[in-house]
Each structure stands twice: as C-alpha cells, then as structure tokens.
DNA sequence: TCTAATTTTTAGATTAGTCTAAAAATATTT
DNA sequence: AAATATTTTTAGACTAATCTAAAAATTAGA
C-alpha cells in the first residue's frame, strides 16, 4: 500500500492528498469565476494536466463525495468539497500575509511559497497565525480571507475595465495573480491603495486613461484593466 | 509521467521528493547516534517501513548520489546527501523556534508541525525566518540550529545518566523528542534551563537522585536520565 | 437533421513508493 | 566447520497520479 500517511501526520475526517486538494481548489476557483458546473477541459487547463488525468481524478473525488459528477456534464463541489477548498484559500491567504508582513516578501513573491504552505495540515496553526497577524481580513493582493467556517465577504469591487468616465476609486485587488502581472503593476505604479480616476476610455482597443494618485496620467491596457479591482467611492 | 513538479515549484540542482528527504534525514540521525554505516533494518525501523522498501529506496538514493551503498554493507551519506539532511535539520529547528516563540506552541507540540514545515522548498524563506526570529542558535529542545552551510556546534553537553555524584549543571536539551517523553519532563519539572545537582546514583536500577532548581529532591529513572542533556558548570 | 468539430471518456502504460513472501548473503552459535 | 539465526535482497504485486492514443458522446454548423 502506498504510504500516504507520511505526509499526513494527523487524523482527518476524510483522508485527502495534496493533489486532490489542488484539484478541489481549481474547481472552486473556476466555479467562482464562471459561476456554473465546471468542465473537464477547464480543469485540465488550470491544473496543467491532460483531460484524461482529470477524468481519472474527478471519478476519485466523486467517490469520496467531494464533488457531484455526471459523465460528460462537468462537476460541482459538494458542501464538503467547498469546505476543503475554502479552508485552502484561508490558509493560502493567511500565509501570504505572514510572508509579506513579517518576512518582507513583496506581493509578487509570496504566491508560490503560499502554494506550498497552504498544504500544511493543521487548522489550529492557521488560527494561531490569524491571531499572531492581528486577524487580517485581506491578503496582500486585496483578496478577502475566509474565516474558520469558510465565510467571507465576496468582493463588491468592480474591475477597472468596467468603470465609466468620471468614476473615482481605490485599487483594492487583482483577479490575475501571476508574478509577471504583479511585477508589471508594480512597475507602472498601480499598486494596492492607489487612487484611480477614470479620465477617458478608448473604444478602439478598450484602453483606459486614468489619473493615478491625483498626480500622474496613465494609459492602461485592457489586459491590465480587466484584471484590477477598484473600490468605487 | 508522474507529475512530481506539483510539489516542487522551484528549480533544484537535484530533484528530490519529500520521501527521499525523509530517508536521508533518518540516515543522518542514525549515523549521528551510532557513528557508523547505517544498515537496512535500522532505517526501516526509523521510517516505519519494511526492509524491502528500504532496499528499493537506497538503490534510488545511491543512483542519485545522495548515499554510498554497498550491497549487504549498509549506507553512508555523500557530501550532497549530508547537505540535504542538515538543510532539513536547519529548517525543522527554525520552524520549531517560530512555532514556540511566535505562535505559543509548547515544546512537545511543535515537533509534528515542524515535520511538515521542514519540507517547504525555499532556502531564502528559512534565512528570512532566521532574521525574523533573531538568529536563534538553538531550538526549543536545546538542539543547535545549523547555519546555511550546515555547520553547527555538536553538543558538548553530557547525558544526565553520565554525570557523577557532586556534578552540577543546567538542563539544555533532550535526545528523545517524542511527545510522551516531553510531556513527562514537563510534569516532573525537568525542563529547559532547570538547575540539576546530582545527589546520589543507585547502581541497582541506574536511577539518579537530583536536587532540582536548588529546591526539590527528585528521583530520575534511567530511561529519563539517558535522554536528557545537561551542561556542566 | 445530418455531418463535422469538439469535448470527454476509456484503454493501456509508466513511475514512485509501498507491500508480502521467498531466496540469498552474512553473522552467530554450538 | 557446520548448523542456525538474522539481515538483506529479489520477485512480483498494488495504488495514486500521470501519460498517449483511440473511442464515444455531445455540441455546433451547414
């Protein structure tokens, strides 16, 4: 028998591997974005595996009652699957706060490390980390941190690309978390808490001219504006 | 192909799995304790696997040049194998300091969590943690923390069981790290930094009578005295 | 609605890490 | 030195997670 126990020193209601956790997280994120039953190809794209591997895995996850699965019809998370996924999100974001606030990592550096740390098995550890960090409500990218029960305010912010001329707001988060994107935002100065005034929208290429922090005029490409969240007000 | 890469988001000189790391650590620890080439059965006992599994694994580790292996003759670590093992020890002990100093875990609780955390792949993370924790030289059990190069002062302390009547010293560490043992030490009050004066040694069962912190007389069983380090002076 | 394109599943392999049972080598005892 | 005991290795099998190639089901288009 494969000795999975080595990686899981504690007792769980349902045994679950790191890979299974990652699949559940991927399904959760895709569903959050698209809002419907998640199909095989979307998962294989997110997980960087083949469709065949995904089919194998979703059968296993369905057997363990983490997802509802109907052949050729895609999958949805069960209550238990959603619990696992939000617990992972909680852990990931909590560790990101630790890495940035305490160890001085920048927002583009902390993601990959948090991908590893989120698999440490101990809810208690995360609760203690929570207290140690001063019960943060958001991670360094502006993403809300779920509480122990998995509840968290869904973002009410709008994408920069959805704002109209005259709207004013504050940069509060990103939709895309790639290192390349975050480093680009850093370089152009569009970082967390930056003030954004929409001056002009160019229909031709959907680019947006904004005033940044009441000082600099900046032309934002659609690729950027569609991945940056702004809180209007 | 099995997608090991999921757990190893960074690039390494030599790719190594968590299981392989654990075997190297076990070999390192056994060799540290026994001081000679490490045999199959000792490893299978430490890893809680069968001798057959160990044979499989040491072949793989020898192929990757982490160990020197001669059939039926046991194994020793290569320079690279030792580097991996001491890096693990460094990570383990650093995380233990974090868990105890920052998150309030007790010395018997932090070990199991550190067993998980030590596999997080990032030397830089540990260096930052080192600074954040104030460059600690010892972990909460009194074990020395290796530096980046893997160097650390071997313990000059003696085992309580090796002291003679009249010796005085301070409790500085343990040889055995089990939760049960640490909790027992807590209960009898023989904790880190406790003052120990050896009053009497009973040859019959090798038990030792000590004065604890200049106040309480305490009878220590051989099982305890052979696993507690004391710094004489 | 029939055909073509796309998506998903199945079939069959591979690797890491494990096992049990049996064989081989080494060590110990008489 | 032979017999016995112990240790180690080999042989063969299993599971999780992956793959490629082919088949089946669904969806889209003419």
Distance from CA of B8 to the nearest CA of A (A): 8
What does chain A come to in residues?
A: 233
| pLDDT confidence of residue A11 | 40
CA nearest to nucleotide D15 C1': residue: A2
Residue A159 bridge partners (DSSP):
A229
CB of A154 closer than 8 Å to CB of A213: no
Q: Is B168 helix (H, G, I), strand (E, B) or coil?
A: strand
CA of B69 to C1' of C27 (A): 20
Residues B60, A204: Cα–Cα separation, whole Å: 59
Q: Answer yes or no: do A3 and B104 touch at CB < 8 A.
A: no
Residues 6+ apart with CB under 8 A from A138: A93, A144, A145, A173
Taking contacts as CB-CB distances below 8 angstroms, the residues of chain B near A125 are 99, 103, 113
B204 part of contact set with chain A, CB < 8 Å: no
Q: Which residues in chain B touch residue A109, judged by CB atoms under 8 angstroms apart?
A: none
A51 touches chain B (CB under 8 A): no
Residue nearest to nucleotide C21 (CA to C1'): B52
Å from A89 to nearest chain B CA? 17
B17/A96 Cα distance (integer angstroms): 24
Q: What is the pLDDT of residue A133?
A: 98
Which token pair is A13? 């209601």
Q: Verify whether the Cβ–Cβ distance B122 to A132 is below 8 Å.
A: no
Which of B210, B179, B178, B182 minimizes the C-alpha distance to B195?
B210
Q: Which nucleotides of C are covered by protein (CB under 7 A)?
A: 7-12, 14-22, 25-26
pLDDT at A205 (0 to 100):
84
B200 beta partners: B209
Closest residue (Cα, C1') to C7: A41
Handedness of CA B195, B94, B223, B36 (dihedral sign): negative
| Residues A120, B129: C-beta atoms closer than 8 Å | no
Q: Does A19 contact B at CB distance below 8 Å?
A: yes
The angle, 0 to 180 degrees and rounded to 10, between the axes of the packed helices A79-97 and A18-34 is: 100
pTM score: 0.83
Enumerate the H helices of B48-109 as residue ranges. 51-63, 79-97
Pairing label, strands B216-220, B207-212:
antiparallel
Tell me, in Å, how far CA of A4 is from C1' of C21? 23
pLDDT at B155: 67
List chain B residues with pLDDT less than 70.
1-14, 155
pLDDT by residue for chain A (233 residues), tens digit each?
444 333 443 444 468 999 999 999 999 999 998 888 999 999 999 999 999 999 999 999 999 999 999 999 999 999 999 999 999 999 999 999 999 999 999 888 999 999 999 999 999 999 999 999 999 998 988 789 999 999 987 767 888 988 989 889 888 888 888 888 889 988 999 998 889 999 999 888 889 999 999 999 999 998 999 999 988 87
CA A142 to C1' D15, whole Å:
41
- Closest nucleotide to the alpha carbon of A52, via C1': C9
Of B68, B66, B40, nearest to B54 by C-alpha is B40
| Tokens found for residue B112 | 């199991």
Nearest-Cα distance to chain A for B129, in Å, is 7
Residues of chain A found within 8 Å of residue B6, distances taken between Cβ atoms: 18-19, 22
| Chain B contact set for A102 (CB, 8 A) | 132
């Amino acid at each position: 028998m494969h000795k999975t126990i080595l990686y899981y020193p504690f007792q769980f209601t349902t045994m679950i591997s790191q890979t299974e956790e990652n699949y559940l997280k991927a399904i959760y994120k895709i569903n959050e974005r698209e809002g419907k039953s998640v199909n095989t190809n979307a998962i294989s794209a997110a997980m960087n595996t083949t469709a065949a591997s995904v089919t194998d895995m979703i059968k296993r996850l369905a057997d363990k009652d983490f997802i509802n699965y109907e052949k050729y019809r895609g999958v949805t998370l069960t209550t238990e699957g959603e619990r696992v996924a939000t617990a992972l999100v909680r852990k990931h974001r909590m560790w990101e706060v630790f890495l940035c606030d305490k160890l001085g990592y920048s927002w583009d550096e902390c993601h990959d490390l948090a991908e590893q740390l989120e698999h440490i098995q101990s809810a208690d550890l995360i609760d203690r980390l929570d207290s140690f960090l001063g019960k943060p409500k958001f991670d360094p990218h502006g993403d809300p941190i779920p509480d122990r029960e998995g509840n968290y305010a869904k973002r009410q912010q709008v994408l920069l690309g959805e704002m109209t001329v005259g709207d004013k707001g504050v940069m509060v988060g990103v939709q895309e978390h790639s290192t390349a994107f975050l480093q680009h935002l850093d370089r152009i100065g569009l970082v967390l808490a930056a003030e954004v005034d929409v001056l002009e929208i160019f229909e031709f290429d959907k680019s947006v001219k904004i005033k940044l922090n009441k000082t600099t005029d900046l032309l934002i490409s659609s690729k950027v504006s569609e991945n940056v969240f702004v809180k209007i007000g």
